[in-house]
Amino acid sequence: MSFLANRILKIAWNERKLLNSQNLLSGVPCTHKTYSLKIKRMSSNLVIYNTLSRKKEIFEPINPPMVGLYVCGPTVYSDVHLGNCRTFVSFDLIYRYLLYSGYKVRYVRNITDAGHLEGDRDEGDDKFAKKAKLEQLEPMEIVQKYTIGFHDVLRLFNTLPPSIEPTATGHISEQIEMVKQIIANGYAYEVNGTVYFDVEKYSKNNDYTILTNRQLEDMLNNTRELGGQDEKKGRLDFALWIKAKPEHIMRWPSPWGVGFPGWHIECSAMSNKYLGHQFDIHGGGMDLAATHHTNEIAQSQACNHTNPAKYWMHTNMLTVNGARMSKSAGNGFLPRELFTGDHPLLTRGYSPMSVRFFMLQAHYRSTLDFSNEALEASDKGYRRLMNAIALLPKLKASASSEVDFEEIKQRFIAAMNDDFNSPVLIAELFEVVRIINSVYDNKTKIDAKGLAQLNTLVNDFVFNILGLKDDQTENNGDLEKLMDFIIKLRQEAKASKDYATSDLIRNSLQEMGFQLKDSKEGTVWSKS
Ligand code: AMP
Ligand code: ZN
């Protein structure tokens, strides 16, 4: 019997490892089947930090209940790193909370699949062409490969797909039209097949640095002098359309000859097409504000005479030892390395949900430093939350209630209304964890209505808004069954007074990180 019990424990453990590896490494797509948000309430108390005004403002959409949300997507020439994921997870939280609040959101997140040169100042190689040469693939094969990779990773992080995901190459004619209009309005000029935005002229009657409040003088002083070869009139001018050199593969005909669009114009053209001249929220990582978003505002202002977005939102950076995680700095963690633990800075792998929880424990406008210790601590918190939630079906309703769940809900909403403050929400959730454990231990009473409210709160705030799910039960329905079977074996061993076997089962499970908790109602298990 004890040999049999040992065998079963081994099988259970290997089974779990196998399921984990299948789920985590092959990018099993999660369906969004559990995600159904009812229109609930339209919050007039939501406050958003607007980079444009540098303060928190009450969120008043232009055309309620519609909300237009545009987020700059990835440049798909290599794998996304964890820093990129942080930005997309942050906007996923924002999107989810807007939906919960009753808004009808059109969420547009683009794919940059052309026109991104290595330098921010229209210099350097084309990122796609360079990678295509390196991997001996067509540029569009590069685009396809890394777009798929991007989607797989975001699915693992349980982010909702955007409403529209337009690509730069699919919107060349819209970009050309916009460039033509900017030229017609007098804010751009063509030199030898390349079209530049005239920043000096624009600055005469517009505030070019409105987004970051930098001094134009300082910017000029920090930008290198124009060289003899430079076609630009002014040092801050940037390309709207770039003439293709003969070897440049990604090329399109235009009124100025064969070329390709500059990086900034794609977001202006696509946001304009799907969300209109002015929409509610434009977002991206903080690193985009000074150049990309500054230029987007100038382009829209020059073309449509309006700042494209009412609220500009920027996520802060994920750092490693204080330095921004980036592809070029070479300190980028690939999500895959994180899930498997195959990285010198990691002692083990972490599940995507535990990493999502790690990200949400910091406010989106704070920096978040990545380390094994920080992940370890988050993982413990995440498991504590999930273990408490797993007890929900086992809670018994009492005749009376000692907990006011309506008041708790108001605290949750207050946290999220304060510029999507997920760390405060999570801190409040741990109060609910305490309540669940206390009800389970028969130390606190809640009635049937309270139990229903508690279930709704968890469903809304943990699963729908924070976008978390229990990776152990979600991914491992088989593990549940296996554990139930092992618990039954232990009960049988106990019933026949074979305490050596029942202790062996409990202790072996403990060594693997599984705890058994006995009570009058039976035995439940949890994983630390
Ligand atoms: P890219 O693919 O480089 O165009 O970046 C895609 C998105 O990730 C942009 O919104 C960037 O601002 C954002 N991003 C890049 N590095 C980081 C980082 N270390 N932390 C957070 N967001 C980042
Ligand atoms: Zn953009």
Grouped pLDDT means (10 residues each) for the chain, 528 residues: 44 38 29 37 82 98 98 93 97 98 98 75 71 80 93 97 97 98 98 97 96 87 70 94 89 96 96 98 97 98 98 97 86 88 91 97 97 95 97 96 97 98 98 98 97 98 97 70 85 90 90 82 76
SS3 66: strand
Question: Which residues neighbour 411 within 8 Å (Cβ) at sequence distance 6 or greater?
Answer: 428
Report whether residue 287 contacts ligand 1, using a CB cutoff of 6 Å: yes
The two beta strands, 194-197 and 188-191, are antiparallel
SS3 297: helix
Report whether residue 87 contacts ligand 1, using a CB cutoff of 6 Å: yes
Ligand 2 centroid to Cα of residue 522, in Å, is 55
Spatial separation of the C-alpha atoms in residues 428 and 416, rounded to whole Å = 11
E-strand ranges in 88-237 read 104-109, 188-191, 194-197
Spatial separation of the C-alpha atoms in residues 517 and 50, rounded to whole Å = 48
The two beta strands, 309-315 and 279-285, are parallel
* pLDDT computed for residue 51 by the predictor: 98
Ligand 1 centroid to Cα of residue 313, in Å, is 14
Whether the CB-CB separation of 78 and 118 falls below 8 Å is answered with no
Report whether residue 324 contacts ligand 1, using a CB cutoff of 6 Å: yes
* pLDDT computed for residue 23 by the predictor: 32
* pLDDT computed for residue 130 by the predictor: 79
Spatial separation of the C-alpha atoms in residues 70 and 196, rounded to whole Å = 25
DSSP per-residue letters across 8-45: HHHHHHHHHHHHHHHHHHTTPPPP-TT--PPP----S-
Instruction: Report the nearest atom of ligand 1 relative to the CA of 76.
Output: 2
Instruction: Report the nearest atom of ligand 1 relative to the CA of 325.
Output: 19
Q: Cis ω on the peptide bond leading into residue 29 (within 30° of 0)?
A: no
Ligand 1 centroid to Cα of residue 289, in Å, is 11
Nearest alpha-carbon partner for 32 in 110, 109, 95, 78: 95
Spatial separation of the C-alpha atoms in residues 472 and 353, rounded to whole Å = 10
Q: Which of 287, 315, 358 to mutate to test the pocket of ligand 1 (most atoms within 8 A of CB)?
A: 287
Q: Which ligand has the nearest atom to the CA of 73?
A: 1
Report whether residue 168 contacts ligand 1, using a CB cutoff of 6 Å: no
* pLDDT computed for residue 511 by the predictor: 83
Ligand 1 centroid to Cα of residue 411, in Å, is 32
What's the pTM value of the predicted model, to 2 decimals? 0.83
DSSP at 459: I
Ligand 1 centroid to Cα of residue 87, in Å, is 6
Spatial separation of the C-alpha atoms in residues 320 and 337, rounded to whole Å = 15
Report whether residue 313 contacts ligand 1, using a CB cutoff of 6 Å: no
Report whether residue 85 contacts ligand 1, using a CB cutoff of 6 Å: no
* pLDDT computed for residue 525 by the predictor: 79
**Beta-ladder partners of 189:** 196
Ligand 1 centroid to Cα of residue 297, in Å, is 19
Residue 477 φ/ψ, nearest 5 degrees: -55, -35
Report whether residue 285 contacts ligand 1, using a CB cutoff of 6 Å: yes
Going 438 to 441 to 447 to 451, the CA torsion angle's sign is positive
Nearest alpha-carbon partner for 438 in 395, 390, 386: 395
Nearest alpha-carbon partner for 363 in 286, 425, 319, 430: 425
Rg of the Cα atoms in the chain = 27
Report whether residue 325 contacts ligand 1, using a CB cutoff of 6 Å: yes
Report whether residue 386 contacts ligand 1, using a CB cutoff of 6 Å: no
DSSP-H helix ranges across 262-343: 263-275, 294-304, 335-340
Ligand 2 centroid to Cα of residue 204, in Å, is 25
